[in-house]
């Protein structure tokens, strides 16, 4: 069941927003803040765990604003290396780099008069953060390889699944950019903090996947619903969505029963150990893969990047830090040669250009 907003003029700030599911106090607060900020042009910072619906809130802000008829452009900052992300955001001119065979407009230009949503903003490098700060302050930039300044009228909404203040303290994120983005913060609650919304979400996803798969699964066993509500949902709403889809596909009748749920939800085995909280490497690896798959959308096809590349990036970053930034030592500890390490630093946007530490 999809909750609909009231009629214009009689809806309160906290009334549900089209496309968003939930009536818990935590979500009503999110709705109210979303409506207030939509009436302005202020930058918004969305904070919350993976799978809590940050993109849905970004779209709601855009659609409720005066920019709603303009473009809404999403960029996943964590999916691209620094050089590729710079070109993606700001565009490039012919000959700017190998493979740049023609001029290309970037996402900021594409979002002119509309909204750009920078997901996983915490993944950006210091060099790119400088350019983002300039766009936020001056509303202008240059394409990669060009000297012509381009002005844009674009609202910026950013999202992070990490504590950006913590990243600022670690000097991984610029403090001035943080405050420029954090004009209005909206914290998305994890699903375990709004369990009363779970039956509404289950109903909505049941309807959606019944229609998508031409099924008629319209009932849910009491024991199954209790297990769903009690589960801790590390992958949040996205994980719940995947579980309901699987149940609809696998059900032999018109009811979701307890046996259709994953073993860890039925109490048949403990919930997977979260990475960094103990357990041997094999257990942690299985847990990481399970959570990566659980947090993926049903149509996501970048699962290798989601899991393996991120583990590689984190491993290299932590090893380099443990070795005091000395790349030769880090390469030896990792069991790879220095040239391979340098290449991976560039690929993952970790290259500082500091040759003194090699």
Q: What is the pLDDT along the chain (358 residues), one digit of tens a residue?
A: 233 333 333 346 767 788 899 999 999 999 999 999 999 999 999 999 999 999 999 999 999 999 999 999 999 998 888 888 999 999 888 877 777 778 889 999 999 999 999 999 999 999 999 999 999 999 999 999 888 999 999 999 999 988 898 899 989 999 999 999 999 999 999 999 999 999 999 999 999 999 999 999 999 999 999 999 999 999 999 999 999 999 999 999 999 999 999 988 886 444 444 444 444 566 567 667 766 665 555 556 667 766 787 788 778 877 776 776 778 888 888 888 888 888 888 777 676 555 444 4
Q: How far apart are CA 281 and CA 287, in angstroms?
A: 10
- Find how far residue 341's CA is from the centre of its chain: 27
Q: Which CATH superfamily is domain 303-357 in?
A: Homeodomain-like (1.10.10.60)
Fold of 25-189: Rossmann fold (3.40.50)
pLDDT of residue 355: 46
Distances (CA, A) of 263 to 243, 245, 246: 12, 16, 13
Q: Are strands 140-142 and 149-151 parallel, antiparallel or unpaired?
A: antiparallel
Domain layout of the chain by residue ranges: 25-189, 192-294, 303-357
pLDDT of residue 9: 38
Global pTM value: 0.70
Q: Tell me the HSE value of 265 on the side-chain side, using a 13 A CA sphere.
A: 24
pLDDT of residue 14: 63
Strand partners, 140: 151
CA torsion through residues 215, 220, 221, 227, sign:
positive
What the block records as the tokens of 224 is 């199954």
Q: How far apart are CA 173 and CA 129, in angstroms?
A: 8
pLDDT of residue 356: 43
Measured distance between the N- and C-terminal CA atoms of the chain, rounded to whole angstroms = 58
Which strand (E) or helix (H) includes residue 155? strand 155-160
Q: Are strands 255-256 and 219-220 parallel, antiparallel or unpaired?
A: parallel
Residue that the structure tokens 């090699």 belong to: 358
Which of 239, 233, 240 is CA-nearest to residue 293?
239
pLDDT of residue 146: 87
pLDDT of residue 357: 46
CATH dotted code for 192-294:
1.10.8.60
Q: How far apart are CA 181 and CA 177, in angstroms?
A: 6
- Strand, helix or coil for residue 140: strand
Which strand (E) or helix (H) includes residue 340? helix 338-347
pLDDT of residue 295: 56
């Amino acid at each position: 069941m999809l909750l609909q907003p009231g009629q214009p003029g009689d809806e309160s700030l906290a009334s549900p927003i089209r496309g968003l599911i939930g009536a818990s106090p935590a979500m009503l607060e999110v709705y109210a803040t979303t409506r207030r900020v939509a009436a302005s042009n202020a930058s918004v910072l969305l904070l919350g765990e993976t799978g809590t619906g940050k993109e849905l809130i970004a779209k709601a802000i855009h659609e409720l604003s005066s920019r709603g008829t303009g473009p809404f452009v999403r960029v996943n900052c964590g999916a691209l290396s620094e050089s590729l992300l710079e070109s993606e955001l700001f565009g490039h001119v012919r000959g700017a780099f190998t493979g740049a065979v023609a001029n290309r407009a970037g996402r900021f230009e594409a979002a002119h008069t509309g909204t750009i949503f920078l997901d996983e903003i915490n993944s950006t490098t210091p060099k790119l953060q400088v350019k983002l700060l300039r766009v936020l302050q001056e509303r202008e930039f240059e394409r990669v390889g060009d000297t012509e300044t381009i002005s844009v009228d674009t609202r910026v909404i950013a999202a992070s699944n990490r504590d950006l203040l913590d990243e600022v303290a670690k000097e991984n994120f610029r403090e001035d950019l943080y405050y420029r983005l954090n004009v209005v913060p909206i914290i998305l609650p994890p699903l375990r903090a709004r369990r009363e919304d779970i039956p509404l979400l289950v109903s909505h996803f049941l309807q959606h996947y019944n229609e998508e798969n031409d099924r008629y699964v319209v009932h849910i066993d009491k024991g199954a619903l209790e297990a769903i509500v009690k589960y801790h949902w590390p992958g949040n709403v996205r994980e719940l969505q995947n579980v309901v889809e699987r149940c609809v596909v696998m059900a032999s009748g018109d009811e979701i029963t307890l046996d259709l749920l994953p073993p860890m939800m039925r109490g048949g085995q403990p919930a997977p150990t979260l990475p960094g909280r103990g357990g041997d490497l094999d257990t942690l690896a299985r847990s990481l893969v399970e959570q990566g798959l659980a947090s993926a959308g049903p149509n996501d096809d970048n699962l290798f990047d989601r899991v393996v590349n991120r583990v590689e990036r984190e491993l290299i970053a932590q090893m380099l830090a443990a070795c005091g930034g000395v790349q030769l030592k880090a390469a030896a500890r990792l069991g790879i040669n220095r040239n391979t390490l340098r290449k991976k630093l560039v690929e993952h946007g970790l290259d500082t250009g500091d040759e003194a530490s090699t």
